[in-house]
Amino acid sequence: MESRKLVMELRWDPILGEWVMVSNIRSFRPWQPTTFCPFCPGTEETGYGWEALIVENKYPMLIEEPPEPTKHRFYKTQKAYGKCYVVIETPLHDIDDLSDLSEKQIAYVINLIIEKQKEIMNKEFAEYFLWFRNKGREIGVSLTHPHSQIYVLPFTPIKILREIENAKNYWKENNSCIFCKIIEIEKEDGIRLLLENRDWIAFMPFYAHWPFEIHIYPKRHLQLLTELTQSEVDLLAQILKYSLCGLKRMFSKPMPYVMVLHQAPLKASHPYYHLHIEIYGFLRDEGKLKYAAGMETGGGNFTYDAVPEENASKLRAKINECVNGVK
Ligand SMILES: [Zn+2]
Ligand SMILES: [Zn+2]
Ligand SMILES: [Zn+2]
């Protein structure tokens, strides 16, 4: 058998103008039985005596000392500098979702993530800090122990670049923040509003892409996770808990979703940007998963087979059940 080479590199798509992360590290790691949970207390990595934990991802797309990338006469590559972490959100294996943890525990997890960002943000390669959470076997999540992930990237993700571009343009024309404007509009309209507390607002966007999409904005104009005050962290934990709880109750089975934190890039200043969280709930109806198919994956634009205001009203009712402690 010929010996295979570890490849971990960024490849530039010159047509779309974006990076693709390439890594075959998975095929170099030993096989583990599917019954083994690497995130439970007492494994080699986790040990005992913790409430939540951030560990290095065993299958990283990015590492601090990446191998030399492929040299090509035409195509552009770059070293896969970065870090990939797993955030183990509780030692309890059988908890279903973040929303099943206490507000205090969620705040503890957010504080851990903030500490990690502070620790890594001054590293030369650290251009962007992406915290995201994938939930549900339907979207390929095999490890059910509650966890999320962090990618410390050597570039700013394409979606953030687009947001920055549009926020910048709006700022130039109006001398104000488009995200702050959206908070004002959503409060006026009210029909897409899902939940609000002193520091945060959750709503379904007018232009939602996914069936049950939730955007959570801080009311204060800020750019980075590390700028949050402790009371803003506590109230973020609260609004996350109830938003995700409502999402989970929408249908008979828990909603598969992706949650992602959008913040400014770590380097340079981006005063026109406004941190927020986006949650994409993928079920459009009982047992019916919305796929990014021909139009979405092939064309890049979304179809929405309902009306966001109607879905917002259904989701708001479920969120209210959670807030009011309805079993
Ligand atoms: Zn476990
Ligand atoms: Zn703003
Ligand atoms: Zn965003």
Q: What count of other Cβ atoms lies within 10 Å of the Cβ of residue 185?
A: 12
The total domain count for the chain is: 1
Catalytic residue ranges: 147
- For residue 112, being part of any structural domain is answered with no
Report whether 153 contacts 189 (CB < 8 A).
Answer: no
pLDDT at 32 over 80: no
Distance CA 318, CA 49 (A): 35
Q: Report yes or no: 129 and 152 within 8 Å, Cβ to Cβ.
A: yes
Quick check: 205 and 166 in contact, CB under 8 A?
no
Mean pLDDT of 36-53: 95
Q: Is residue 213 part of a domain?
A: yes
Residue 314: the pLDDT is: 98
Per the listing, tokens 């709880």 go with 245
Q: How far, in Å, from the CA of 54 to the mean position of ligand 1?
A: 14
* 40 alpha carbon, closest ligand: 1
Question: Distance, CA 253 to ligand 3 centroid (Å)?
Answer: 27
Q: What is the pLDDT of residues 206-231, one digit of tens each?
A: 999 999 999 999 999 999 999 999 99
Q: Does the pLDDT at position 293 exceed 80?
A: yes
Ligand number with the minimum distance to the CA of 182: 2
Ligand nearest to the Cα of 86, by number: 1
72, pLDDT greater than 70: yes
Q: Does a structural domain hold residue 300?
A: yes
Please name which ligand lies nearest the alpha carbon of 205.
Answer: 3
- Which tens digits make up the pLDDT trace of 252-291? 999 999 999 999 999 999 999 999 999 999 999 999 999 9
Write out the residue range of the structural domain in which residue 253 sits: 158-323
Q: Is the pLDDT of residue 1 over 60?
A: no
Residue 262 belongs to a domain: yes
As given in the structure block, the two tokens for residue 45 are 């990595």
**Residue 41 resides in a domain:** no
pLDDT value of position 35 = 81
User: pLDDT (tens digit, 9 = 90+) per residue, 135-166?
Assistant: 999 998 989 999 999 999 999 999 999 999 99
3-class DSSP state of 211: coil
Query: Could you tell me if residue 134 is inside a domain?
Result: no
Query: If pLDDT is split at 50, 70 and 90, which confidence band does 2 have?
Result: low
Element (H, E) at 84: strand 83-88
Which parts of the chain fold into alpha helices (H)? 103-120, 158-174, 178-189, 230-249, 308-323
Measured over the CA atoms of residue 234, residue 237, residue 238 and residue 240, the dihedral's sign is positive
Provide the pLDDT for residue 70: 96
What separation in Å is there between the alpha carbon of 220 and the centre of ligand 2? 7
Residue 170 lies inside a defined structural domain of this protein: yes
Q: What is the mean pLDDT of residues 101-125?
A: 97
Ligand 2: centre distance to CA 294 (Å): 34
Sign of CA pseudo-dihedral 51, 52, 55, 57: positive
Beta partners for residue 314, in sequence order: none
Distance 278 CA to ligand 3 centre (A): 6
Question: Residue 190 sits in a domain of what CATH number?
Answer: 3.30.428.10
Q: How far apart are the first and last CA of the chain?
A: 58
For residues 55 and 149, give the distance between their C-alpha atoms in angstroms, rounded to a whole number. Answer: 10
Instruction: With a cut of 90, say whether residue 33 has pLDDT above it.
Output: no
Asked whether residue 96 is domain-assigned, the answer is no
320 to each of 50, 215, 277, 314, 324, how far by Cα in Å?
32, 17, 20, 10, 6
Rg (CA), the chain: 20
> In this predicted structure, what is the pLDDT of residue 47?
95
Beta-bridge partner residues of 277: 216, 261
Distance 131 CA to ligand 1 centre (A): 20
